[in-house]
Amino acid sequence: MPKLKSYRCTACGEGCHHERQRQPIPMSEHATDTSEGSPARVAILSDVHGNLPAFEAVLADIKSVGVDQIWNLGDLVGYGAQPDECVALAREACDLCLIGNHDLVVIDKLKIDDFSANAATAALWTRDHIKPETRDYLATLSPKDESRDIKLYHASPRDPVWEYVLSTGLADACIEAMPGRMAAVGHSH
The predicted-structure confidence for 46-81, as pLDDT tens digits, reads as follows 999 999 999 999 999 999 999 999 999 999 999 999
* Angle (CA) 31 45 101, round 5°: 135
By three-state DSSP, how is residue 58 classified? Answer: helix
Which string of b and e fits 146-185 if b means at least 16 CB within 10 Å? eebebbbbbbbbebbbbbebeeeeeeebbeeebeeeebbb
Per-residue pLDDT at 159: 87
Q: Which residues pair with 54 in a beta bridge?
A: none
Widest CA span in the chain:
54
Per-residue pLDDT at 2: 45
| Per-residue pLDDT tens over the stretch 80-126 | 999 999 999 999 999 999 999 999 999 999 999 999 999 999 999 99
pTM higher than 0.85, yes or no? no
Q: Are 4 and 17 in contact (CB under 8 A)?
A: yes
Per-residue pLDDT at 180: 83
Q: What is the distance in angstroms between the CA of the first residue and the CA of the last residue of the chain? A: 28
Instruction: Give CA–CA dist 133/10, Å, rounded.
Output: 44
How many CA atoms does the CB half-sphere of 157 hold within 13 Å?
18
